[in-house]
Amino acid sequence: MTIRWCSIPVLLLMMGGPVLAAGCPPLLQGEPPKLRAKETIDLCQRFEGKPLVVVNTASFCGFAPQFKSLEALNQRYKGQGLEVIGVPSNDFKQESKDDAETAKVCYVNYGVTFTMTDPQQVKGPNATHLFKVLAEQSSEPRWNFYKYVIDRQGNVIAHFSSLTKPDDAAFIAAVEKAIASKP
């Protein structure tokens, strides 16, 4: 039997192996579960070619009020293609073990409408793929509400500590640079 190269993804799929989206940047490979939903988020399908802000969050962190500013950022720039992705994590021991509580904090307490995943590990060897690539391209988060700005090609162009608020001039400048980047 002769196997052609174009048949390999089909064979891998039939054998239960991973199939990476052709042309999709490494950062967007994967399908994390959506917060309090039965579906997953196909990162490549949903976000390829879009400028992004990715933030690791925690419901009981002193920086949790940044959810409001992140939502304001989302509303201000979503018409220009910006997507915000929040990734709850208990890596710094400030996230609820109950996903319903996490969802309540995000959606009810702070009115978040941007994409939120189920809680994930964001640092170390067991970090979710998204955060492994973010760490490779910049650095792993040092605390909750560490912010990454990603251009339309899936490259980190800036990262900001928890102390940087989402309305900070340098952060906004990085977001606008990501929006202006060519796909």
More confident residue, 17 or 143: 143
**Tokens found for residue 129:** 């793929």
Other beta carbons within 10 Å of 15 = 7
Dihedral sign of CA atoms 104, 108, 109, 114 in order: positive
Nearest to 85 by CA among 23, 149, 181: 149
Predicted local distance difference test score (pLDDT) of residue 23: 79
Domains of the chain: 22-180 (3.40.30.10)
Residues 3-61 have pLDDT tens digits of 443 333 443 333 343 444 457 999 999 999 999 999 999 999 999 999 999 999 999 99
Active site residues: 61
Predicted local distance difference test score (pLDDT) of residue 7: 38
Average pLDDT over residues 96-109: 96
Query: Distance between CA 163 and CA 145 in Å, rounded?
Result: 8
Residues 66-99 have pLDDT tens digits of 999 999 999 999 999 999 999 999 999 999 999 9
